Amino acid sequence: MTDATLSPEGAKAPEKTSAQPRSLYATDELTKKRNASEKRFQAYGIAAIGAGLFFLVVLAYSIISEGIPAFTRTVLTVEFTVTQEQFDDAESQLFKTRAYEAVFTEAMSAQFEQKDIQVPFDIAAIERIVGKPGSTIREFYRANPDKLGQPVAFELAASSRVDGYMNGRLTRDNITDSRFLMKSDLDLVDVLVESGIIQTVFNWPFITGADSGVDNPGGAGIGASVVGSFFMMLVVLFLSLPIGVAASIYLEEFAPQNKFTDLIEVNISNLAAVPSIVFGILGLAVFIQFMHLPQSAPIVGGLVLTLMTLPTIIISTRASLKAVPPSIRDAALGVGASKMQAVFHHVLPLAMPGILTGTIIGLAQALGETAPLLLIGMVGFVARGYPDGFVSGFMDPNSAMPAQIYTWAARSDFAFYEKAWGGIIVLLIFLLSMNILAIILRRRFERRW
């Protein structure tokens, strides 16, 4: 043991050891140190992974717990009949929706009587609970006049405060009387819940609907912005994949190695690191102010995101082309394939999994990008009459998922905050499914070879 220590007599040690064989059972100092540092390094690694996992779990928990309420909504299911007379009468009045609300209140009272419920309430309380049901009822009968005189079951959205009371955000203790909801209204709500009129159901309108006004968080949905994001991603995919792959193939396989191509290479790497807001202002200047493309349109968003995604795709495509063994190129050239045949018949298919993965990761990045969209106006847009017309294509104004989430998070009503978390869940579901798609494609293409 002492032979190996760095003691002052160390110099003499070799003479001693040469005389007697060193034992393999005794660990010497240097080996001990090396083993210790190896263990330490492994511990750092495990700690780093542990910390990462911890934050991931915290993030996932908070997203899910905050976002889940956005997927449920509180509705009042009331069945009643509006007669032709009542309809004509209401239509002739100045405040038409008011008139319908009166009809609704009557119907409510009738149901209460029928169920033998004794709660005093007035039209104002009903309005606070249901929002303004008049316009919903009016629109229904204007669209379906043949239903007049027949009983119709209405599913009316409760106001966001009632929603909050139902999912536990508001309680009798923390509620303050306001024009939105009075403490006394909660008695009515409780009774309605008991009698089965108020129910919590899955919030389809959140998935399919468009954004609503600032005073109606209950009606806000992410559907329209999903459509906007979808059109943008189509633009990004169909522009950046062919351009990026073509550019990479040329640079990697055909371009001569000189100062000019070096410069291009350096600039592509630099572009990948340019902040997205720079691309946003570029898009604003070039596509909207110079080329006069429509504002807030998915085509412009798609073009800007294409610019942003291209470097990512080019870099990953070049890396996967580089990873194809040169012996394959030699083999193809050796039997007399032209350079292009060698690339397209042999190199490209082998590089495909990498190219697809890079593209999908680039698309996923683009899907979550917010800053450039703020600059080209794809934000804070309320689609009226959705799903008809407004979000139908590339040229029509729309929003996108991340921009929609940003808008909601910035609004004052707490219910919108919930929507923002819910929107994040929807966005993450899209990102996750894109990544799963990338993995599946990768597996598939790899297995073929």
Partner 1 sequence: MNDMPKIEQATDMTDSKISANKVQVYYGDTHAIKDVDIEIQPRSVTAFIGPSGCGKSTFLRTINRMNDTIDICRVEGSIQIDGEDIYDPKVDPVQLRAKVGMVFQKPNPFPKSIYDNVAYGPRIHGLARNRAELDDIVASSLQKAGLWEEAKDRLDEPGTGMSGGQQQRLCIARAIAVSPEVILMDEPCSALDPIATAKVEELIDELRENYTIVIVTHSMQQAARVSQRTAFFHLGILVEEGPTQDIFTNPVDKRTQDYITGRFG
Residues making contact with partner 1 (CB under 8 A): 256-257, 325, 327-338, 341, 345-346, 350, 449
Question: At closest approach, how far in Å is the CB of 330 from partner 1?
Answer: 6
Instruction: Show Cβ contacts of residue 199 under 8 Å, excluding neighbours closer than 6 positions.
Output: 74, 75, 76, 77
Residues facing 78 on adjacent strands: 154
Three-class SS of residue 442? helix
Question: At closest approach, how far in Å is the CB of 265 from partner 1?
Answer: 15
Strands 72-81 and 198-202: antiparallel
Distance CA 430, CA 407 (A): 19
By beta-carbon proximity to partner 1, the closer residue of 281 and 337 is 337
Tokens 């008809």 sit at which residue?
Answer: 388
Asked if 427 contacts 370 with a C-beta cutoff of 8 angstroms, the reply is: no
Asked if 383 contacts 390 with a C-beta cutoff of 8 angstroms, the reply is: yes
CA angle 71, 77, 81 (to 5 degrees): 145
Question: At closest approach, how far in Å is the CB of 438 from partner 1?
Answer: 21
Question: At closest approach, how far in Å is the CB of 327 from partner 1?
Answer: 4
By beta-carbon proximity to partner 1, the closer residue of 207 and 328 is 328
By beta-carbon proximity to partner 1, the closer residue of 238 and 254 is 254
Of 224, 205, 231, 215, nearest to 379 by C-alpha is 224
Distance CA 350, CA 78 (A): 62
Side by side, the strands of the sheet bearing 72-81 are 151-157, 72-81, 198-202
Q: Taking the CA atoms of 193, 195, 200 and 205 in sequence, report the sign of the dihedral they define.
A: negative
Question: At closest approach, how far in Å is the CB of 348 from partner 1?
Answer: 13
Question: At closest approach, how far in Å is the CB of 276 from partner 1?
Answer: 36
93 backbone dihedrals φ, ψ, rounded to 5°? -85, 165
Question: At closest approach, how far in Å is the CB of 347 from partner 1?
Answer: 11
Of 180, 188, 166, 74, nearest to 127 by C-alpha is 180
Amino acid (one-letter) located at 26: A
Tokens 């050239």 sit at which residue?
Answer: 333
Three-class SS of residue 47? helix
Question: At closest approach, how far in Å is the CB of 360 from partner 1?
Answer: 23
By beta-carbon proximity to partner 1, the closer residue of 93 and 338 is 338
By beta-carbon proximity to partner 1, the closer residue of 65 and 338 is 338
By beta-carbon proximity to partner 1, the closer residue of 179 and 448 is 448
By beta-carbon proximity to partner 1, the closer residue of 126 and 348 is 348
Burial (Cβ within 10 Å: 0-12, 13-18, ≥19) of residue 171: exposed
By beta-carbon proximity to partner 1, the closer residue of 14 and 334 is 334
Question: At closest approach, how far in Å is the CB of 329 from partner 1?
Answer: 7
By beta-carbon proximity to partner 1, the closer residue of 273 and 335 is 335
